[in-house]
Structure 1
Amino acid sequence: MTLDDTDRRLLSLLAENGRLSLKELAAATALSSPSVAERLRKLEERGVIDGFTIDVNARTLGYTLQAIVRVRPMPGQLHIVERLIQEMPQCVECDKVTGDDCFIARLHLRSMEELDTLLDGIAERAQTNTSIVKSTPVKRRLPAFLP
C-alpha cells in the first residue's frame, strides 16, 4: 500500500495533534476541507487509520508507576494467562512475542503493592520478570516512513 506525500502529511499532522479540524488540515496541506475529509475517509477504509484517540496523562490520575512485565506461562497455561492479562485494567498494552517469554505487558500502577497483587494473581500460572519504567525517552510515534 502506497501513500502519497499529502497522505503522509495528513497522518503526521494528526499524529501530532489529533484534534486538528478539517479546516486546519486543509490549510496545512493546501487542499479544501472536503478533499481532506475524503482523503481521511479513504485512509480509514484502507485500514491505514484505525481510529482517533486521546493521550491521557496517567500520572495526573494517580498512576505514578509504570512497569514492563515479561510473562512466561507455565506449560498448558498460555491461553489462561493471556485472558488474565487482557482482564487486567492496569494493563494498557501487551504484545505476544517470540523468544523465552510469551508476553510483554505495560502496566500503569498506583503503587508497588498494586503491582504485587497483580503479579500474585498470575504467579501460579506464569513466571514474570518486571522492570519499573524510569522515563520514556521515546514516546509512541509513527514509523519513519512519514515526514
Structure 2
Amino acid sequence: MPPRNGKAALDATDARLLAALDRDARLAVSELARLVGMSAPAVAERMRRLEATGVLKGFCAEIDPRALGYAISAMVRIRPLPGKLHLVEQLIDACPNIVECHKITGDDPFLARMVVRDVEEMDSVLEALADHATTSTAVIKSQAVRRRLPPLE
C-alpha cells in the first residue's frame, strides 16, 4: 500500500537499486546486491518492499520498433467528437499500432504514441478514428531524452 502522503520514503540504497534496475532490469539479485553493497536476501527484501509500496511496478523489455519494421513513430492528439469519448477510448485500446496512450488535460483528452511501417499504414490508423474524433499528428524525428527515472531524493 502506498504511503498516505503519496511519496514513498527512499534511502540512498533504494535509489542505487532503482538506478541499477533502470539500466538493466534483468540483473540477478546477487549482482544487484554486489552493486549496492548488500546481501542478496537484503536486496530481495528491499525489492519486495518497493513492489509493495508501488514504487517498483514491474520489469519491462525495451523494444526498438524500427527493428520490427516500424519506420515511423508519431504522437497523436485525439479529440473525440461530442458523445464519442468512450467509443474513441475503446478504438484506441483496440488499435495495436497505438502502443501508449495518456488521458491528458486540455482540448484533446488523449495523447497517443503510434508506430507504423509507412505513411499508408499511418493513414489507415487515423482513418479508423476519423468518424469519431479529430486528430493532430506529429512524427517523432528522434528521442532527445530517453525514458528515465525521476529524481529519487
Q: TM-score normalised by the shorter chain: which range applies?
A: over 0.9
Shift of residue 145 of structure 1? 2.3
Instruction: Give the % identical residues.
Output: 49
Please name the residue that 1:61 is paired with: 68
Shift of 1:52: 0.7
1:71-90 matched pairs, under 5 angstroms: 71-90=78-97
> Could you tell me which residue of structure 2 aligns to residue 92 of structure 1?
99
C-alpha RMSD over aligned residues: 0.9
Matched residue SS, 1:70: strand
Report what 2:19 is aligned to: 12
- Partner of 1:43, secondary structure, is helix
TM-score of the aligned structures, taking structure 2 as reference length: 0.93
Q: Which runs of 5 or more residues in structure 2 are unaligned? A: 1-7
Q: Which whole-Å CA distance do the structure 2 matches of 1:27 and 1:55 have between them? A: 24
Q: Does residue 140 of structure 2 align to residue 133 of structure 1?
A: yes
Structure 1 stretches lacking a partner, 5+ long = none
Work out the CA distance in 1 between the residues paired with 2:10 and 2:90: 36
Runs of 4+ in structure 1 over 6 Å off: none
Rounded to whole Å, the distance in 2 between the matches of 1:145 and 1:127 is: 38
CA deviation after TM superposition for structure 1 residue 139, in Å: 1.5
Matched, 1:114 2:121: yes
- Provide the C-alpha distance between the structure 1 equivalents of 2:149 and 2:99, rounded to a whole number of angstroms: 18
Aligned residue-pair number? 146
Is the 2:10–2:152 Cα contact (8 Å) retained in structure 1?
A: no
Secondary structure at the aligned position of 2:59 is classed as coil
When normalised by structure 1's length, the TM-score is 0.96
Q: Give the Cα–Cα distance (whole angstroms) in 1 for the partners of residues 91 and 69 of structure 2.
A: 23
- Residue number in structure 2 paired with 1:25: 32
Aligned to 1:144: 151
Q: Which amino acid aligns with 1:145?
A: L
| Structure 2 partner of 1:41 | 48
2:111 corresponds, among 104, 114, 121, to 104
Match for 1:144: what amino acid?
P
Could you tell me how far apart the structure 1 residues matched to 2:42 and 2:18 are? Answer: 15
Q: Deviations over 1:74-129 (max 9, x none)?
A: 00000100110011111111111111111000001111111100111110100000
